[in-house]
Chain A
């Protein structure tokens, strides 16, 4: 084994790449200068191992047959009844589900937040204005600072993520309201892609309550259609019900680290 192969200290390289606040070092900067084709992609201790691993692989599979791939599985299941199936499957995960007409979404948001007595609610950029207004009216009407919103004054407020909210601020929020990118009927899954009205990933993770609005035209029948609609270059979060664990004697417990309550409003 080449575990002892010496090389430049990788820490030097990590520093050379530098802390990049936006993280968008494109190709050709920092560590990437070598490019994979040159055999010096990492410039670190892995350089020798890179060639070693590749040569071991080539020796291992030399002369092996080339297997084909047959995709005989369903790629476009029946779309009929997808909205009803989606609602049923999401509810199966013990999420709270409402199916409403498109013009009733704002009312459903206000009612849901009112039931939670949610005083401090995160609203991502790009949430439709009508829905954001619904959040505001709920926050103003149902503001219950007592014991809620534990940070600072605990005053009822709409929390915008600009400038970026700290993890502690998110932790002090009562909930978050978002839209989504795709809903999958067969599995009851919601996919967020950090697009408009969804925000960065932490917004739907740290607060204990997530209210998500899904439009009927965002719902697809099965997993293959969802994968086809999504952009892999965006960070994706697939959500199927609230956070859960079955680690203790296989008893399902909802809510460990993610939001303990997931409420879904489906707009027909």
Chain B
């Protein structure tokens, strides 16, 4: 179930209403978001040219998206020339089938995985399971999520909703069924828990012959793939197995090797709040005797690209800076968004990738106060509030709301109508209820109706000549 498709989840308001009742979750989230936020602010402030890097990052991504067809072909040629194999997957089912077939061709029945949003998006682990192939997550947080039969709740730190005692419990109960059991007398010290994960996974790293990864960047010019990580599990998966399969969204492209000089500054500082993440691996085609397959994934990305306002979401480099500054995410947590992409970026990416057919997806553009903190934090300047408003315009609205808006539009259209309505309101103001009746109560339950003054400002101005009389 981990990394599943979240099908059938209720809309955001219900999920959020339940989540905010969980005081442990709110404590964890607040601590996490504020800690990373503070670290990010201090390392960003160190760079005198952050604004210029951000502008270049935005422009490089926009340029790439505008010429995506050309750069994908260049990438394919470069990867192939370097001994790799390139596959194209139009949707999740096709990507999953390609990966399953490649794994089966090796004769193996298990794979180790580097943390990857794209493979979560397509539900790869579940699809492989149906083919009799077990996918083992190796990132510590993803391991916690997988063992706990849970969903990730944050892009960078997917198990941030779990505290140490819960993690200890999960390790003690579940590790044995996945491989090496948790050590006797395991404490809930983070150091002891990390050591348990090291021991649990080490043998698997040394013996598994197939790995599946995503990538943070692909370089069209050279065919190079880039993975940033912290723990070394990524290096283990990228280095030791005989076969490496990377599933990468087509928007992860950068035109030239040189462009990394921008993104290797933007991403670590925005993401973990470090000057640089502990490990970055780059490889071009098949290296050191490894067989390499690249699966290029569309799965709705070209639909996002077709939307002039919404396409900027494809600039996203999955740093999660927007999550950590979002007042809504901080209180509701990642699960409420019902997608592997939570927070502000998820609120614009998910409804575009999946369409707004379900109640959940249609509710996501409203999972925001439009405060704009996400836009300020975004290292590639995605104007998330702009896209949220754009998507709200495209969402289906209830009949009562549409009628109400049309009536309000009619009144505001002419000054005389507005003045008339204001005078009427002033005369009837003592009869205005605090809560509207029937289905309209949904509106007033979350809003305070302002006191209606006895006289409108314009009437007051006319009567007193601007206060002179």
A interface with B by C-beta (< 8 Å):
1-5, 9-11, 13-15, 17, 19-27, 30-32, 35-37, 41-42, 44-47, 49-50, 52-54, 56-61, 64-75, 89, 92-93, 167-168, 171, 184, 186-189, 194, 200-202, 205-206, 223-224, 226-228, 232-251, 253, 255-259
Contacts and interface: CB of A to CB of B under 8 A. Distances in A.
Given A2-B90, A14-B105, A250-B31, A242 B278 contact: yes
Contacts of A259: 232
Contacts of B86: 36, 41-42, 46
Given A44-B98, A251-B190, A258-B231, A245 B140 contact: yes
B340 interface: no
Contacts of B268: 187
B104 A11 contact: yes
Contacts of B109: none
A258 B278 contact: yes
Nearest to B28: A249
Contacts of B295: 46
B83 interface: yes
A66 B70 CA distance: 13
User: For chain B, what secondary structure do more than half of its interface residues adopt (helix, strand, loop), or is it mixed?
Assistant: helix
B282 A232 contact: yes
B414 interface: no
Interface in B398-415: none
B72 A257 contact: no
A26 B80 CA distance: 8
A93 B66 CA distance: 39
Given A11-B101, A73-B49, A53 B302 contact: yes
Interface stretch (B1-9, B15-23, B192-200): B192-200
B261 A75 contact: yes
B101 A167 contact: no
Contacts of A226: 261
B258 A249 contact: no
B230 A227 contact: no
Contact of B88 (A53, A70, A233, A257): A53
24 contacts: A1-B93, A5-B90, A24-B83, A27-B80, A36-B76, A49-B88, A49-B89, A56-B306, A57-B302, A61-B66, A64-B66, A64-B308, A66-B63, A171-B202, A232-B284, A235-B281, A235-B283, A236-B283, A238-B264, A240-B277, A243-B278, A256-B232, A257-B236, A258-B232
Residue in A71, A72, A202 with the greatest tally of chain B CB atoms within 10 Å: A71
A171 B207 CA distance: 12
A69 to B, nearest CB: 4
In order of increasing CB-CB distance, the 7 nearest A-B pairs are A258-B232, A23-B286, A46-B88, A56-B302, A257-B232, A11-B105, A3-B93
B62 interface: yes
B260 A59 contact: no
Interface size class of B (residues with CB under 8 A): 35 or more
A243 B232 contact: yes
B373 interface: no
Given A46-B94, A67-B59, A67-B66, 13 more contacts: A4-B93, A31-B80, A45-B94, A59-B306, A67-B62, A75-B261, A93-B278, A223-B261, A235-B287, A247-B144, A249-B28, A249-B163, A253-B191
A148 B129 CA distance: 40
Contacts of A17: 85, 291
B260 A89 contact: no
B115 to A, nearest CB: 10
Contacts of B59: 67-70
Contacts of A224: 261
B69 A71 contact: no
Contacts of B91: 1-3
A87 to B, nearest CB: 14
B276 A228 contact: no
Contacts of B104: 11
A189 B92 CA distance: 37
Given A57-B68, A201-B235, A250-B32, A23 B87 contact: no
B280 A237 contact: yes
A42 B84 CA distance: 10
B190 A248 contact: yes
Contacts of B388: none
A247 B239 contact: no
Interface string B19-44: 00000000010011001100000000
A179 B150 CA distance: 43
Contact of B306 (A5, A60, A66, A247): A60
